Amino acid sequence: MLTEENKNKVEELRKRYPTSQALLLPVLWMIQEQEGSLSEESMKYAGSLLNIPYSHILGVVTFYTMLHRKSSARYRIDVCTNVSCMLRGSGKILEHIEKRLGIKPGEVTSDKKWTLEETECLGSCGTAPMLAIGDEYYENLTLEKVDKLLESLQ
């Protein structure tokens, strides 16, 4: 299920950790980046690769907010609404996106293109307000910047 390249990476990583269980997060990341989410099948695959029971893997996956068992939409917009962002207008940003996409946090648009989440501080408090889509951070946001961003991802 992992690509050859990733399989080689796993073998390299085995040298770095004294237990195979420690490779769990790295392997789950690889799978999620390849497939978009972590299906039951792929978690079981990780289990067989690392010799870890499925129940343990499920426990780990449900602990971390960035590991997803389903990918609900093509783009997931994470708007930080923690204090520093809140003080600099994240509420308005969130409201604007809600209106534009017609969804509330936790919902998915009917075309499965967008989903919206409120998130905790992402370490961009000095460039607030901000949002993230995947690994990409969009900082010092204004309503115009949000509009441009959403249009560019059409």
Partner 1 sequence: MNLQPAQPEKLNAWERVILPDVPGLQKIDFYLANGGYKALKKALELKPEEVIEEVKKSNLRGRGGACFPTGLKWSFMPKKSDKPKYLCVNGDESEPGTFKDRQIFEFNPHLLIEGTLIACYAMGMTAAYIYIRGEYGKWIRMLQKALDDACANGFVGDKILGTDFSTHITIHRGAGAYICGEESSLMNSIEGQRGYPRVKPPFPAQNGLWGCPTTINNVETISNIPVIIKNGWKWYSQVGAVKHPGPLLVGVSGHVNNPGVFEMPTGEPLLEIIHKWAGGVPGNKGIKAVIPGGSSTMMLRGDQLEGIRMDVDSLKAAGSSVGTAGIIVMDSDTDLIQVITRITEFYYRESCGQCTPCREGTVWMYKILKRFEQYQAVAEDIDLLMDIANNIEGNTICALGDAAAWPVQSMIRRFRDEFEKRVHESQHRVVA
Q: Binding residues for partner 1, per CB under 8 A?
A: 13, 16-19, 21-26, 28-29, 50, 52, 59-60, 63-67, 81-84, 86-88, 120-128, 132, 134-137, 139
Both structure tokens of 66? 């960035």
Check if the beta carbon of residue 24 is closer than 8 Å to that of residue 58: no
Eight-state DSSP code of residue 132: E
3-state secondary structure of 115: strand
In the bound state with partner 1, the residue whose beta carbon lies nearer, of 20 and 109, is: 20
Q: How far is the CB of 83 from ligand FES (least distance, A)?
A: 6
- Overall size of the chain counted in residues: 154
Give the x/- contact pattern for ligand FES in 95-134, rule: CB under 6 A: --------------------------xxxxx--x-x----
Q: Are strands 75-80 and 114-119 parallel, antiparallel or unpaired?
A: parallel
92 touching ligand FES, by CB under 6 A: no
Please state at what angle helix 4-14 crosses helix 24-35, rounded to 10 degrees: 170
Binding site for ligand FES (CB under 6 A): 80, 82-85, 121-125, 128, 130
